[in-house]
């Protein structure tokens, strides 16, 4: 468990649950799902001391549910956001037991990059001055953003005179802003996978269309298409949850203070930015699905064309040898009197005639491109 007291541009990290709010700013409590379950009573007591309210039992169940899709809910005192992350786990890391999509099982075929996509849910309870986030065990997203938060604090201390330091790269000004930045960081984690995922699927497409390659990894291709379809469904849930959050911002009561109105406007802008990033992920996944499906269809079309070429060549060769077989059959009849049968030159005349017929028919079929080799 990690606790951050954030006041202005100052961030203080700790491990113990706070008993009171700072004079200015807010508190970010980040814990794993196992810690949240084991220390639920302490966390609820701390939330009651800090905010005067505790989490509803149904929302506690949502935060503990490792199979829950992305969703948004709210109460009169806090908002609840569950967001399934799209992040890349390091190579060699075993699959998480709480991953319901089973995208990273090492025993399943498919592109290795799909095996490393982690889709575990991350839950957020957003109070006015407290942010509680529940992450999977050893969550890289929490550690990465905590490091970024501390680094941005140091950078602001070094350039305190620069008014732009409190912008997009500065310290979040509220728990809601903090939640949106963490969600944006999770979505951007998938955008970083686009190049590797596209390269691996492009390799499969090239293998499908290669004229001298016999593609036999249909099971892997099927699992890849299923994984992409699951990612698309997961992104749709993310988009729905973020859209609900964005619409809920319109119902917030904002004081006429210019600073509060500006911060509220920034929340709307950041929410729309996250939605745009999710849309980019969805478009990319759909494009990969479409490209894969197109490559499969082109593969079968190419195979069909090759089969047609082979059958056309065999038919032409059969047509060439058909009159030759007819002549051989005629002279093979058991009649006593057959023309040229008892002549010394009859064999050579017959053989020459058969060769001439075969040559003429071969030239005719070649001119008609029945025997021509099509370009591949």
**What pLDDT is recorded for position 255?**
79
Fold of 308-367: Methane Monooxygenase Hydroxylase; Chain G, domain 1 (1.20.58)
Contact 25, 8 (CB under 8 A): yes
Q: Do domains 1-85+120-171 and 308-367 have the same CATH topology?
A: no
Distance of CA 264 to the CA centre of its chain: 32
**What pLDDT is recorded for position 120?**
83
Distance of CA 131 to the CA centre of its chain: 29
Residue 163 has pLDDT above 50, yes or no: no
Instruction: Rank 44-53, 148-157, 312-321, 329-338 by mean pLDDT and report only the highest.
Output: 44-53
> What are phi and psi for residue 83, nearest 5 degrees?
-130, 120
Tokens encoding 26: 């807010």
Q: What is the mean pLDDT of the chain?
A: 79
Residue 257 has pLDDT above 50, yes or no: yes
* Structural domain boundaries in the chain: 1-85+120-171, 308-367
Residue 72 has pLDDT above 60, yes or no: yes
State the pLDDT confidence band at 153, using cuts at 50, 70 and 90. low
State the pLDDT confidence band at 216, using cuts at 50, 70 and 90. low
> What are phi and psi for residue 263, nearest 5 degrees?
-65, -40
| Distance in angstroms (rounded) separating the CA atoms of residues 352 and 329 | 16
What is the reported pTM?
0.70
**What pLDDT is recorded for position 46?**
92
DSSP codes joined into one string, 115-135: HTEE--EEEEEE-SSEEEEEE
Helices (H), 67-174: 112-115, 140-158
As a whole number, mean pLDDT of residues 360-370 equals: 84
As a whole number, mean pLDDT of residues 109-116 equals: 59
Distance of CA 318 to the CA centre of its chain: 52
Fold of 1-85+120-171: Beta Polymerase; domain 2 (3.30.460)
**Contact partners, residue 262, CB within 8 Å, separation at least 6:** none
**What pLDDT is recorded for position 25?**
87
């Amino acid at each position: 468990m990690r606790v951050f007291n954030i006041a202005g541009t100052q961030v203080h990290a700790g491990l113990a649950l706070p008993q009171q709010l700072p004079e200015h700013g807010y508190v970010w409590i980040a814990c794993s799902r196992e810690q949240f379950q084991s220390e639920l009573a302490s966390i609820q007591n701390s939330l009651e001391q800090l905010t005067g309210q505790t989490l509803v039992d149904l929302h506690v169940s949502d935060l503990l549910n490792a199979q829950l899709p992305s969703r948004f809910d709210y109460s009169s005192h806090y908002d609840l956001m569950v967001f399934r992350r799209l992040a890349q786990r390091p190579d060699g890391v075993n699959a998480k037991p709480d991953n319901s999509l089973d995208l990273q099982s090492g025993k399943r075929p498919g592109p290795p990059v799909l095996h490393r996509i982690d889709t575990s849910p991350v839950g957020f309870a957003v109070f006015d001055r407290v942010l509680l986030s529940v992450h999977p065990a050893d969550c890289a997203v929490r550690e990465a953003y905590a490091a970024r938060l501390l680094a941005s604090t140091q950078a602001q201390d070094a350039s305190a005179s620069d008014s732009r330091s409190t912008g997009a790269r500065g310290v979040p000004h509220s728990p809601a802003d903090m939640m949106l930045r963490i969600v944006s960081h999770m979505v951007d984690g998938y955008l970083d996978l686009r190049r590797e995922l596209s390269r691996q699927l492009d390799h499969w497409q090239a293998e499908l269309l290669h004229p001298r390659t016999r593609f036999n990894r249909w099971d892997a291709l099927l699992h890849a298409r299923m994984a992409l379809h699951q990612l698309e469904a997961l992104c749709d849930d993310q988009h729905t949850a973020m859209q609900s959050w964005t619409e809920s911002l319109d119902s917030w009561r904002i004081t006429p203070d210019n600073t509060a109105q500006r911060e509220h406007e920034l929340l709307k802008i950041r929410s729309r930015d996250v939605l745009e990033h999710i849309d980019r992920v969805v478009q990319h996944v759909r494009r990969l699905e479409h490209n894969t499906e197109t490559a499969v269809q082109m593969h079968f079309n190419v195979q069909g064309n090759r089969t047609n070429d082979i059958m056309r060549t065999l038919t032409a060769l059969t047509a060439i040898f058909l009159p030759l077989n007819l002549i051989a059959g005629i002279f093979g009849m058991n009649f006593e009197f057959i023309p040229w049968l008892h002549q010394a030159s009859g064999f050579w005349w017959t053989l020459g005639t058969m060769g001439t017929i075969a040559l003429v028919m071969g030239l005719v079929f070649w001119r008609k491109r029945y025997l021509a080799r099509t370009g591949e």
